[in-house]
């Protein structure tokens, strides 16, 4: 009898493994920089997926700039192509734009909601359905060189005016003492989605609104917005190199991490990289909220972040959902932080001892992350990418001196009215 049972168990095991083998899929997934800086994290993900499930994963390389990636996805999804990609990261501002091309994840992930920052979770709920799960949180932060502020007897700047003054003073002094490549401030000044984020911070910090308000009203044509853009233009060639008008995040970080700038606007990921063993500025890195626009202004950090989402055209949904559950679990988020510096979207990780040891400043940013200012993506619905493009081009024209803040915001208002038509849709 016992023998028979053992025989049956053995048969069932063989049967189960052949069923699994028959169902083994290879999913295609975006794992950012899997062949470069992202390799340790992507290797970890692959190892887990291929040992915890019968499936395999193939990583894809995609452009790094948000708007270039969006263009690519729009093409792939318009063709309803099932073979190009199963799992990918969508920018915070794409959820409404891509909605119908994204698999409804509600049934698979609804139990996870309470573990995530509420705004990050809600951002991915479109028309009542969960269409993505936050891979990590982003919100604009200001980095500064602790050693240099101390050397010149300055404090971290509370306002943009102070930042300008301190940057001018320290840059001049450093250059006079032979540090001739040194700049006061680097940021993202190229005409792309990142400039929409930086400019939103400048404008919102002066109380100039969010370009289009949550109720759909076009608000950009106001004196505070014009003033904020003129201020940013005054930095070009003075405290910021002219080249900043070609910088995305990584170009800014290259200058900063090389020790060639006092302040940098960037996202939280840059902290751990700057504190790396081989970083020339290791131990000298301070991080603080984005400055206010004047004494009466406010701190405004742009809300960013990326969401794991599944293509609605995937033919390997079951395997892809299994991978989604791995990449969004607490251990994977912890690895993503420790290996890549991306701030977790799971609340409990802000009390994790390993995370606190690597980034003691992180808990202080919990409220900054939870109160960051969204770009007008929800308000402008399917038109967001046209709105953002018109916005960053207008800002770029002010930075390059082609136009003034006042004229740029008036022209942008006209343009946005044309994009909007009768209503945002």
- In angstroms, the CA 57 to CA 319 distance is 10
For residues 226 and 332, which CB has a smaller minimum distance to ligand GLC in the complex?
A: 332
Q: Which of residues 239-258 bind ligand GLC (CB under 6 A)?
A: 249
Taking the C-alpha atoms of residue 386 and residue 202, their distance in angstroms, rounded to an integer, is 21
34 burial type by CB count under 10 A (0-12 exposed, 13-18 middle, 19+ buried): buried
Residues 4 to 63 in contact with ligand GLC, rule: CB under 6 A: none
| Whole-Å CA distances, 73 to 91, 98, 127 | 11, 9, 21
| Window contacting ligand GLC (CB under 6 A); options: 43-51, 166-174, 201-209, 298-306 | 298-306
Q: Which residue is nearest to ligand GLC (CB)?
A: 304
409: how many CB neighbours lie within 10 A of its CB? 28
Q: Closest distance between ligand GLC and the C-beta of residue 204, in Å? A: 15
355 binds ligand GLC per the rule CB under 6 A:
no
Q: Which of 175, 203, 357, 343 is nearest to 266 (CA)?
A: 343
Burial 328-355 (b: 16+ CB within 10 A, else e): beeebbbbbbbbbbbbbbbeebbebeeb
C-alpha dist (Å) from residue 314 to 82, 310, 330? 5, 7, 25
Provide, rounded to whole angstroms, the least separation between the CB of residue 384 and ligand GLC.
11
Q: How far apart are CA 75 and CA 378, in angstroms?
A: 22
Q: How far is the CB of 340 from ligand GLC (least distance, A)?
A: 12
* From 1-9, 207-215, 304-312, 407-415, span contacting ligand GLC (CB under 6 A): 304-312
Q: Quickly tell me which residue has 């919990």 as its tokens.
A: 366
**Cβ-based nearer residue to ligand GLC, 42 or 270:** 270
Name the minimum Å distance from CB 187 to ligand GLC: 11
Nearer to ligand GLC, 154 or 250 (CB): 250
Residues 149 to 178 in contact with ligand GLC, rule: CB under 6 A: none
Considering only the stretches 157-165, 169-177, 189-197, 347-355, report the one whose residues sit in contact with ligand GLC under the rule CB under 6 A.
189-197
Which region among 190-198, 200-208, 289-297, 360-368 touches ligand GLC (by CB under 6 A)?
Answer: 190-198
Residue list 191-210, contact with ligand GLC (CB under 6 A): 193-194, 197
Contact between 304 and ligand GLC (CB under 6 A)? yes
Nearer residue to ligand GLC within complex by CB, 85 or 301: 301
Query: Nearer to ligand GLC by C-beta: 95 or 197?
Result: 197
- The least distance separating ligand GLC from the CB of residue 305, rounded to whole angstroms, comes to 5
CB atoms closer than 10 angstroms to residue 50: 13
From the CB of 342, what's the least distance to ligand GLC, in Å?
Answer: 9
Distance (Å, whole) CA 14 – CA 98: 42
**Among the candidate windows 124-132, 211-219, 300-308, 326-334, which touches ligand GLC by CB under 6 A?**
300-308
Region 358-397 residues binding ligand GLC, contact defined as CB under 6 A: none
Among 143, 206, 263, 267, binds ligand GLC (CB under 6 A): 267
Closest approach, Cβ 189 to ligand GLC, in A, equals 12
Single out the segment in contact with ligand GLC by CB under 6 A; choices: 28-36, 286-294, 303-311, 417-425: 303-311
Least distance CB 400 / ligand GLC (angstroms): 19
User: 266: closest CA among 255, 276, 277?
Assistant: 255
Q: Does 91 bind ligand GLC (CB under 6 A)?
A: yes
To the nearest whole angstrom, how small is the minimum distance from the Cβ of residue 53 to ligand GLC? Answer: 28
Whether residue 280 contacts residue 189, with contact meaning beta carbons closer than 8 Å, is answered with no
**Residue whose CB is less far from ligand GLC, 27 or 390:** 390
Q: Is 212 in the site for ligand GLC (CB under 6 A)?
A: no
- The CB-of-167 to ligand GLC minimum distance in angstroms stands at 23
Q: How many residues bind ligand GLC (CB under 6 A)?
A: 12
Q: Does 305 bind ligand GLC (CB under 6 A)?
A: yes
Binding site for ligand GLC (CB under 6 A): 66, 91-92, 138, 193-194, 197, 249, 267, 304-306
């Amino acid at each position: 009898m016992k023998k028979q049972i053992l025989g049956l168990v053995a048969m069932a095991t063989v049967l189960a493994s052949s069923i699994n083998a028959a169902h083994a899929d290879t999913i295609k997934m975006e794992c950012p920089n899997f062949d470069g800086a992202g390799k340790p994290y992507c290797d970890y993900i692959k190892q887990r997926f291929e040992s915890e499930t019968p499936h395999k994963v193939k990583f894809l390389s995609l452009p790094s700039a948000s708007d270039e990636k969006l263009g690519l996805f729009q093409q792939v999804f318009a063709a309803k192509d099932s073979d190009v990609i199963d799992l990918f990261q969508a920018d915070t501002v794409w959820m409404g734009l891509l909605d119908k091309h994204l698999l409804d994840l509600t049934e698979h992930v609804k139990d996870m909601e309470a573990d995530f920052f509420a705004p990050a979770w809600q951002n991915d709920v479109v028309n009542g359905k969960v269409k993505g799960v936050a891979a990590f949180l982003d919100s604009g932060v200001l980095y500064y060189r602790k050693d240099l502020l101390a050397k010149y007897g300055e404090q971290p700047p509370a306002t943009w005016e102070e930042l300008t003054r301190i940057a001018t003073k320290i840059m001049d002094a450093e250059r006079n003492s032979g540090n001739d490549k040194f700049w006061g401030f680097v940021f993202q000044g190229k005409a792309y989605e990142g400039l929409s984020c930086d400019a939103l911070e400048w404008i919102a910090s002066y109380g100039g609104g969010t370009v289009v308000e949550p109720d759909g009203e076009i608000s950009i044509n106001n004196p505070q917005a014009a003033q904020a853009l003129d201020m940013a233009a005054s930095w070009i060639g003075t405290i910021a190199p002219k080249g900043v008008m070609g910088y995305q995040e990584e170009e800014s970080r290259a200058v900063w991490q090389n020790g060639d700038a006092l302040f940098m606007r960037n996202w939280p990921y840059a902290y751990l990289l700057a504190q790396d063993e081989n970083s020339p500025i290791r131990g000298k890195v301070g991080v603080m909220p984005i400055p206010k626009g004047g004494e009466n202004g406010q701190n405004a950090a742009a809300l960013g972040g990326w969401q794991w989402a599944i293509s609605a055209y995937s033919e390997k949904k079951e395997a892809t959902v299994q991978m989604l559950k791995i990449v969004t679990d607490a251990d994977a988020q912890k690895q993503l932080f420790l290996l890549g510096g991306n701030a977790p979207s799971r609340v409990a990780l802000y009390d994790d001892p390993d995370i606190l040891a690597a980034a003691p400043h992180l808990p202080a940013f919990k409220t900054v992350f939870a109160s960051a200012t969204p770009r007008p993506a929800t308000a402008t619905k399917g038109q967001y990418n046209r709105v953002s493009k018109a916005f960053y081009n207008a800002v770029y024209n002010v930075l390059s001196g082609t136009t003034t803040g006042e004229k740029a915001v008036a022209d942008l208002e006209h343009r946005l009215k044309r994009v909007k038509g009768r209503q945002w849709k």
